[in-house]
Structure 1
Amino acid sequence: MRSSRLMVTFANPFALAGYPGELLPGDYEVVVEEELLQGLSFEAYRRIATYMLVHGRRGLAGRTELRLITQNDLDEALSRDRAITKDGTDSEAALSPQEDQK
């Protein structure tokens, strides 16, 4: 098993498929878990889960949710954010990889 972490930044409120309500703009940590594929003559990994850490705000401050998401849902949310930003302001939505392997 290995895990990698990356930060994503949303410039605008956004929603994720399968979860009610909008999330506030800001930085969010994404954790990707992968497992080593056995029996190959080379090292290869398969993604088994992608999670986004969502920190509670206002009445839920101090509470953090680990939300299971798909890479496709994350990519779509970032694309929508970039489109809104491009049409409205000069803020940026970005992916910045930050590896943390176990």
Structure 2
Amino acid sequence: MTMRTRRETVHFRHPFRIKGIDRQLAPGAYEIITDEETIEGLSFPCFRRVATMIMVPGAPPQRSAMEMISISSIDLSDAQRIDASAPRD
């Protein structure tokens, strides 16, 4: 089975929360890593998501460290939607 990893940067304008992370995260840019595997037996290349992770600054006192935390893609979408619909400062 073939795997691929996609990386993208998402931006949040407001402090936000994502289910599975026990603290509020600051506004800013966050790297999202998505692992996908091929779906075998098709006549065209097709991939399915098997993992979504977000890179966040470490919890205090380890602020200089980075953590890779596994999250749900749905929870990420929900956080982006809430951030986009929040009133602009």
Provide the TM-score with structure 1 as the length reference. Answer: 0.78
Q: Identify which of 33, 41, 50 aligns with 1:31.
A: 33
The total of aligned residue pairs comes to: 87
Higher mean C-alpha displacement, 3-12 vs 34-43: 34-43
Q: 1:88 — aligned with what?
A: 88
Q: Which has the higher helix share?
A: 1
Q: How far apart are residue 58 of structure 1 and its match?
A: 5.7
Q: 1:64 — aligned with what?
A: 66
- Measure the CA separation in 2 of the matches of 1:64 and 1:88: 28
Within 5 Å, give how 1:3-42 maps onto structure 2.
Answer: 3-42=5-44
Q: How far apart are residue 57 of structure 1 and its match?
A: 6.6
Which amino acid in structure 2 is aligned with residue 14 of structure 1? F
Q: CA RMSD in A?
A: 1.4
